[in-house]
Amino acid sequence: MALIDRLMGLAPDGVTLDPQGKISVHEFAAACFEVAFGPRTVAEMKSYYTMSAEDATELDALIAKVTGTDAIKHRVIFMFEQVLILAESKVTGYTTPALVRARLGV
């Protein structure tokens, strides 16, 4: 399972919900904010969410997008959160991890 799957609440079979591995979208966005602006590090985020290598690779790809001015960083993290809220609810166009990854550009 990878990070996007966990944020969507999917189990390794890609279908059933997995409350144990689920990461809260809002909490994830808050953690991204703290990594971008301090005081947290990417390593702390990976440890807190007990990320696999696959999870960590996706996180690294997302975090790499959080660059530029403070305003741009805010906008990118806000976009992550909005896309993931739609994905969590399985809104049309956000129903599979592949569609969500494409929308996020990872």
Query: Are 40 and 34 in contact, with CB atoms under 8 Å apart?
Result: yes
Q: Which domain holds residue 77?
A: 3-104
Which runs of consecutive H residues, i.e. helices, occur in 1-106?
Answer: 3-8, 25-37, 42-48, 53-63, 70-88, 97-104
16-68 pLDDT, tens digit per residue, is 766 778 999 999 999 999 999 999 999 999 999 999 999 999 999 999 999 99
pTM for this predicted structure: 0.90
Is pLDDT above 70 for 14?
no
- When divided into structural domains, the chain yields a total of 1
